[in-house]
Structure 1
Amino acid sequence: MNNDIEIKGQTQDQQPGLENKMNPEPIVIRDSYEGSGKLDGKVALITGGDSGIGRSVAVHFAREGAQVAIVFLNEDEDALATKEMVEAEGTECLLIQGNIQDEHFCREAVVETVEKFGKLNVLVNNAAEQHPRESIRDISTEQLTETFSTNIFSMFHFVKAALPHLQAGDSIINTTSVTAYRGSEELLDYSSTKGAIVSFTRSLSGNLAEKQIRVNAVAPGPIWTPLIPATFDEEKVEKFGKYTPLGRPGQPSEVAPSFVFLACEDSSYFTGQVLHPNGGQVLNG
């Protein structure tokens, strides 16, 4: 499959953005990806599962045999499309709409998942928002609170709610970012939350090691998702990802297999680790 697609200049006026408005739409799963039952009998809950990386993870998990619940904010059309993709793989998909900044909603999402499927085995903390600013003085207290509430506080909420349902061999996977390692001069608050997610992952992995619940993370580089046109202007979108050694942005389909690996038994000796699908950027960590 050719992942080097031409990205046209485009913007969207609100986050987290809509996949159905992107040109071209991201590649969700490659045709040659063959499931092998790696997640048969498993139940996964994915935040931000309606589009982008979250959608791709949901479809890959489904192809591997998992039942999937996805949490989304207000992207009804994208969420329904993801549900159709998951169910086309022969499994079930539960849609849960709400704001993950609300701890009560996070608890209820876990409860709804367990009530629907009877258990929970994999928690994927993936949802995020970002708002570029030229100066730290331009970052309002409101923006700072919003970004941290979505990107990192929600992970605490979901893990606290999920833990009573997770057993030995189950998995928590957090989405961090290349910006946690190289920084981002325009995304100070976003990259700070992503750094916090790395520390959260490492610390929680130690905390849960005795329970044999594995905690890992994925740190994508520039990936073509709705968050990109919803964040940057047309000029920056056209140049997006071209600075990487591979010379292009990645596709969600090139990231989701990392989540499959961390969710299944293949990674049984991995905990506290971060995988880096980032187009060849060599990082310390």
Structure 2
Amino acid sequence: MTPQTPDTQDSAGFPAQQQTPPGLTEDMVPTPDHGESSYTGHDRLVGKKALVTGGDSGIGRAVALAYAREGADVAISYLPSEQEDAEETRRLVEEAGRRAVLVPGDLTQEEDCRSLVATTVEELGGLDVLVNNAGFQMARRESIADITTEHLDRTFKTNLYALFWVTQSALEHLGEGGCIINNASIQAYQPSTSLLDYASTKAAITNFTVNLAAEVGERGIRVNAVAPGPIWTPLQPATQPSEKLESFGTDTPLGRAGHPAEVAPAFVFLADGASAGYVSGTVLGVTGGKPVF
């Protein structure tokens, strides 16, 4: 299926559709644009070794693709059920002439988080850029009473515990000039009531970003975050009520949702020491006009 680009997207949103979490790219209508035919690299990350959690689809795939076209080798983590999407991401990275390492696992498990970093370093020969992108949400609920302990554990362990575990292990290998980029969200600033638990984790991630930047700055390591707005990824049909997709993103000043390809350049900018060498402790919004402050 041909990806639908922002230039051709109907501002009325997307067709009603539903998947089972975590969702797959192939089943989405329309297919998200990850930059397959639009992203052009300029050798901004040549020789870098990057780890992207949740790199099989959505924003993670777009970041992995952009990094590869900028000259970086990339390792990606993903759930075993997302193998199909992960294979496509590997194809795109290798098509760009770079090495792709696939590391399936469950980031709600501490052992998987720590072995993920170890495998990345062993396979790529080091680590320069960590992108904490993996996340989970569930918007098919009406009130706080609907948030079960099971869902709370999954959301907090995926979005926060994994962030700590992966980052702790990565900092054993990151040296001067290394960087960490976390995926926050507009939900940290303009939370939706149906995403109370998810929004809480994203607010925590913004604090984590600023706090850790202060701690590791003396080591020459930069820590930043990107806060996307409504972005068309498998997470949306897998976790949103199907009827809400018909107006998804239309409440932004630009009047539409974004595509992963529109978020990836922010991750490239923050990873590029030549462009962002003095940028740390910052949250960069890619929100279609919604304010991030």
TM range (shorter): over 0.9
Which residue does the alignment assign to 2:66? 60
Q: Bigger shift: 234-243 or 44-53?
A: 234-243
CA–CA distance in structure 2, aligned partners of residues 30 and 270 of structure 1 = 28
Which residue does the alignment assign to 1:164? 172
Structure 2 residue 9 is the aligned partner of structure 1 residue 5? yes
Question: Secondary structure of the residue that 1:262 maps to in structure 2?
Answer: helix
Which residue does the alignment assign to 1:282? 291
Deviation at 1:283, TM superposition (A): 3.1
CA–CA distance in structure 2, aligned partners of residues 27 and 64 of structure 1 = 18
Which residue does the alignment assign to 2:146? 138
Deviation at 1:234, TM superposition (A): 2.3
Which residue does the alignment assign to 2:26? 20
The letter for the 2-side match of 1:172 is I
CA–CA distance in structure 1, aligned partners of residues 71 and 62 of structure 2 = 14
Question: Secondary structure of the residue that 2:228 maps to in structure 1?
Answer: coil
Task: Determine if contact 2:6/2:259 at 8 Å carries over to the other structure.
Answer: no
CA–CA distance in structure 2, aligned partners of residues 2 and 177 of structure 1 = 20
Question: Secondary structure of the residue that 1:54 maps to in structure 2?
Answer: helix
Which residue does the alignment assign to 2:243? 235
Number of aligned residue pairs = 283
Structure 2 residue 47 is the aligned partner of structure 1 residue 38? no
Question: Secondary structure of the residue that 2:171 maps to in structure 1?
Answer: helix
The letter for the 2-side match of 1:71 is S
The letter for the 2-side match of 1:105 is D
CA–CA distance in structure 1, aligned partners of residues 84 and 149 of structure 2 = 32
* Change over 3 Å in CA distance of 1:115–1:30 after alignment to 2: closer
Deviation at 1:32, TM superposition (A): 4.2
Deviation at 1:30, TM superposition (A): 5.9
The letter for the 1-side match of 2:207 is S
Q: Bigger shift: 184-193 or 24-33?
A: 24-33
Deviations 1:67-94 (A, max 9, x none): 0000000211111011001111011100
Which residue does the alignment assign to 2:163? 155
Which residue does the alignment assign to 2:133? 126
Deviation at 1:104, TM superposition (A): 0.9
CA–CA distance in structure 1, aligned partners of residues 282 and 36 of structure 2 = 26
The letter for the 2-side match of 1:85 is L
1:56-205 alignment runs, 5 A limit: 56-73=62-79, 74-132=81-139, 133-205=141-213
Aligned mate of 1:226, from 221, 229, 234: 234
CA–CA distance in structure 1, aligned partners of residues 167 and 118 of structure 2 = 12
Task: Determine if contact 2:76/2:101 at 8 Å carries over to the other structure.
Answer: yes
* Change over 3 Å in CA distance of 1:148–1:2 after alignment to 2: closer
Task: Determine if contact 2:6/2:258 at 8 Å carries over to the other structure.
Answer: no
RMSD: 1.1
TM-score (norm 2): 0.94
Deviation at 1:34, TM superposition (A): 2.2
Deviation at 1:142, TM superposition (A): 1.6
